[in-house]
Amino acid sequence: MVSISHAPTLEFQSRKSMEEDIIKSLKDGNVRMIAICGAGGVGKTTMVRRIEDRVRKEFDEVVTVVVSQQTDKTKIQNQIAEILRLGLSEKTLDGRAHKLRTRLMDSKKKLIIFDDVWKSFEPEDIGVPYGGCKIILTSRLKDVCEEMEADKVIEVQVLDKKEAWTLFREKSGDSVDDLYLRPIAEEVVAECKGLPIALATVGKALKNRSIKTWKDALLQLRGANPTNFPQVLENVYMPLKLSYDFLETESEKSLFLLCCLFPEDDDIRIEDLALLSFGLGTFEGINNIEDGRNRTYHLLERLRSRFLLMTGRNEEEVKMHDVVRDVAIFIGSKEKKGFLNVCSMDSSRNCNWMSVEISNIANANFPVGLDFSNLRLLMILNSTYSEFPEGFDVHVICLKGMEELTVLYFSNQNFQSLPSSLEFLKKLRKLHLENCEVKDISIVGVLASLEILRVWRCDEIEELPANVGELKFLKLLELRDCEKLKRIVAGVISSLVGLEELKIVGCFNKWEAKGNVSEERNASLSELESLSNLTCLEIDIFDPNLLAQEILLSKQIRRYRIRAYEDRYLFDAFKAVKKHERRIALHLPRDVTVGNWIRGLGKNTQSLELIGDGSNDFNLGEIESLRELVFKNCSTVEKLMNASDWKFPMLEHLELRELGELEEIIDGTIPEGSNSFQNLEYVVVEDLLKLGYLWKSPNQNVSLVNLKLIYIRHCPNLRYLFSMATARSLVQLLSLEISFCDTIEQVLWNEMESNTEASIIEFPNLNTLRLFYLPNLLAFTQGVETIKFPQLIELEIEDCPKLRTQIDQCPTGMIERLLVRNRDTIEEIFRDDGNRHIIFQELYELALGDLPCLTTFYRGVESIKFPKLKMLTIENLPRLNSFVPIDSEATHDQNSLHFFCNKKINGKDIEMKDLNGGIHHFKSTKQNANEDENKDENNEDEKHEDKKQIEGEENIESSNNNRM
């Protein structure tokens, strides 16, 4: 074996933790294969080389093989054999594999690295035995890692801003620190968006170049057209283009290119992509919108697994890395010979898709009268809300030469009516209007081929034109948040017999009752009976009395969102923790009845929100698929559910508010072996004045293995939350907050107080604990001396004067915020855990106040350090002498609290700046009656103490460290 040393690379914190995790896994006997995946150029190979160098001494033999796209098994065998100095004369793949396997199964410890894997393969087939070797593979395809059944998959992300600048500066040289060059260099780095290959390539190419070259490079990077920047084309664009070329279907490639039409850094709604694709006819053999949407989700998941796309702000959005977007634009405009035109308006007549920003229409030079005979998609955007160029009139947009156009998308436009030339678009299948000031859309009635009409947040529209009812091929009608829309002519909706999806949300509050024959008739809910093809229904009903009607809905409805309320802001908080396909939110006053059509939908709903005294009549026992339940503001409900009727074990989110008569959630004992609440993740209980407990004890039969968050507020009769038996199941609990519960004495009811096994409680994943205004809280549980929070990040305890429980084995390396106020009996916050020198590695805020018995912060230690502390508040601690014992003589260094905390402070506010610019506020008020009585006698002593304090301040502020 020949030891290969790689060139030293910069070490980044974001990479270091991953490397440590991989090295640790290599020592784990249960881990056979580790996969490192990420986008092209993100640094996978660099990472695996660093790991190779670090672990080489721990393995007798290390073999690295570059697999590449073809996955030639014979070639892989030859590479391994060559490194092992093993001759392979066998003719067959199996024969060669047997010889390799025999060699690799000897007593030596081996690491095999497969770099750049594009297709799944079985290592055993080429002679690499799982049992005899550790395997690491790198791939830009996550699904390949999963198909190869890697025991551990590590995803490598882009660098953060600080790391990106460090790498770029290392490659481009010290000249970037020049006063004139630095601003341009920072813009260049911003264009690279943390992608290591881009940062390194661009940095090397610009090293020692003139400022004019830097400016030109920035222009090319922004324009996604680095034709005069060959290093970027070769080292950045081509590797990423390879990921595109490797996509298996044209549908995937089309969807990928579609994403680059949206503005840079945009969070792209998956629904937009699905409907754009459907309008373009991207998916062969798919004729209905629901199937097209499902296909879109599937393909986007594949694109994400190849790191060509990222998840956006939520699971319903995707995002494109800026460099990847530039490559997509380059592919569409250059490689596909003008297929795509993004960013600017020019006379490129051959493009199929065009996306243009209003801000780029300079001097109203929108191409007028040109022959765009191939154009099928046109997006006119205004993401920056720019003013229209002077003299620009949307009506000069001549669509006559765009007869092949199938998709037209307007966003953030201030025109009041649509272009009259819209009438020439005989093949238009999709029209999207969003945030447009348009008032009149009557021209859409002439678009005979229209299948999708979406109108979003167009606040000037007052009426849906009657001729919309003539669109016989319309499959989707969506009117969302058009606040002035008050009129939908009766008969329009019932005329759209081909409609598959109807969404009228946040607008139109004039649904009429069935059988109304007034002259100015509006649409009625009974018109829904004509829509036999309807699969999706989303409507708002502003009059809950309309719920009593009986409507025969299409049996094909699979997705729905029904809201009924008098006040449109009542359900502003109606935001599911997870977006469910079937949701109902009803405001039901006491005298409102609910028709069978609502009850029928309710039986299959996934998310249900009920408000009002009439909610008690809604039969929860009929629902089997419920995942989210919000029940509030009902004065008639005493028990939410009978244990014998419990039929929604899939429940994930439970929220109960303002139920003044509710005494218990479940009436009766849940049967033993029940799976009730096993999927529950989120519990909110607020303003339940009579609630005595969440679940009965001792025989609760409740396992909360997936519960992550508990929020309890203003339940004055609540005695405790859980039994000890239930508490042991809280292995996933992340956050616990209890406030304004006057009666609660213990969080957990200890049914085995005499059992020594109950002397320790551990919440293994709890990271946030907040206890506020609990006047009678004595302890987490009686008879338990030790409570462990190994993952605690944030701890707040305020106005819990009787709480005696101490915190043992605090995770000093993780905790970030610690606030303790008004605990009358506590003498120390933490106890000695055997470690004499404590470092609160991540703590940035510490507040202690109104603790009359507190004498020390951490008893039994010699030194405490807070390297990241930004805010420190100390108030009304009359017995506090020091954070650590006053006789401690540990060496003081720049982060030690000894300097400040071994001195008493009387009635002074000290403001002190630290190295990082943080400001610490210290306030300690000595409340001592004797001092008050002798204030005049001790005046001189106070002046002397003031002088000492001022001198202390001056010493502190003059130091270049973080002493306190």
DSSP state for residue 846 in the 8-state scheme = E
Query: Residue 410: is its pLDDT beyond 60?
Result: yes
Query: Residue 582: is its pLDDT beyond 60?
Result: yes
Query: Residue 277: is its pLDDT beyond 90?
Result: yes
Could you tell me which residues come within 8 angstroms of residue 810 by beta carbon, excluding any fewer than 6 positions away?
789, 792, 830
State residue 33's pLDDT score.
93
- Assign 962 a pLDDT band (cuts: 50, 70, 90): very low
Which tokens hold the place of 324?
Answer: 């990847």
Pairwise pLDDT comparison (577 vs 653), residue with the higher score: 653
The tens digit of pLDDT for each residue in 320-352 reads: 988 888 889 888 887 776 788 775 555 466 789
Stretch 816-834: mean pLDDT, rounded? 80
DSSP 401-420: T-TT--EEEEES---SB--G
Stretch 749-776: mean pLDDT, rounded? 77
The torsion angles phi and psi of 3, rounded to 5 degrees, stand at -70, 125
State residue 684's pLDDT score.
95
Q: Kind of pairing, strands 487-488 and 845-849?
A: unpaired
Pairwise pLDDT comparison (904 vs 557), residue with the higher score: 557
Query: Residue 964: is its pLDDT beyond 50?
Result: no
- Assign 431 a pLDDT band (cuts: 50, 70, 90): very high
Which residues are paired to 609 by β-bridges? 585, 630
Stretch 623-652: mean pLDDT, rounded? 83
List of E strands, 312-419 = 317-319, 340-342, 353-357, 377-381, 407-411
Stretch 954-964: mean pLDDT, rounded? 33
- Assign 425 a pLDDT band (cuts: 50, 70, 90): very high
Task: Tell me the pLDDT of the chain averaged across its residues.
Answer: 80
pTM: 0.78
The tens digit of pLDDT for each residue in 520-550 reads: 688 999 999 999 999 999 999 988 888 888 8
Q: What's the N-to-C CA distance of the chain in angstroms? A: 55
- Rounded-to-integer distance, Cα 691 and Cα 714, Å: 10
Q: Do 821 and 851 form a contact (C-beta atoms < 8 A)?
A: yes
Tell me if residue 523 falls in helix, strand or coil: coil
- Assign 477 a pLDDT band (cuts: 50, 70, 90): very high
CB atoms within 10 A of CB 696: 19
Query: Residue 575: is its pLDDT beyond 60?
Result: no
Which tokens hold the place of 264?
Answer: 């840079």
State residue 515's pLDDT score.
66
Stretch 727-746: mean pLDDT, rounded? 92
State residue 642's pLDDT score.
76
- Rounded-to-integer distance, Cα 217 and Cα 197, Å: 16
Pairwise pLDDT comparison (576 vs 695), residue with the higher score: 695
Stretch 779-806: mean pLDDT, rounded? 81
State residue 154's pLDDT score.
92
Judged by average pLDDT, the poorest of 109-118, 369-378, 467-476 is: 369-378
Pairwise pLDDT comparison (90 vs 737), residue with the higher score: 737
Pairwise pLDDT comparison (958 vs 207), residue with the higher score: 207
- Rounded-to-integer distance, Cα 380 and Cα 370, Å: 17
Tell me if residue 694 falls in helix, strand or coil: coil
Tell me if residue 276 falls in helix, strand or coil: helix
State residue 570's pLDDT score.
60
**Percentage of the chain modeled with pLDDT above 70:** 81
State residue 396's pLDDT score.
55
State residue 111's pLDDT score.
92
Pairwise pLDDT comparison (633 vs 642), residue with the higher score: 633
* Helical ranges in 421-538 per DSSP H: 492-495
Name the one residue in this structure whose structure tokens are 């154009």: 375
State residue 758's pLDDT score.
52
Stretch 378-393: mean pLDDT, rounded? 66
Letter string b/e over residues 358-380, b meaning 16 or more CB atoms within 10 A of that residue's CB: beebeeeebbeeeebebbbbbbb
DSSP 614-669: GGGGS-GGG-SS--EEEEES-SS-SEEEEGGG---TT--EEEEE--TT--EEEESP
Could you tell me which residues come within 8 angstroms of residue 426 by beta carbon, excluding any fewer than 6 positions away?
403, 448, 449
- Assign 413 a pLDDT band (cuts: 50, 70, 90): confident
Q: Kind of pairing, strands 653-657 and 628-632?
A: parallel
Q: Do 752 and 725 form a contact (C-beta atoms < 8 A)?
A: no
State residue 296's pLDDT score.
95
- Rounded-to-integer distance, Cα 296 and Cα 283, Å: 9
**Percentage of the chain modeled with pLDDT above 90:** 31
State residue 334's pLDDT score.
79
The torsion angles phi and psi of 508, rounded to 5 degrees, stand at 55, 90
State residue 322's pLDDT score.
85
The tens digit of pLDDT for each residue in 227-271 reads: 767 777 777 888 788 888 888 899 999 999 999 999 888 899 999
Tell me if residue 684 falls in helix, strand or coil: strand
The tens digit of pLDDT for each residue in 898-923 reads: 434 433 333 333 333 332 333 333 43
State residue 136's pLDDT score.
93
Q: Kind of pairing, strands 268-269 and 317-319?
A: antiparallel
- Assign 9 a pLDDT band (cuts: 50, 70, 90): low
Query: Residue 8: is its pLDDT beyond 70?
Result: no
State residue 810's pLDDT score.
64
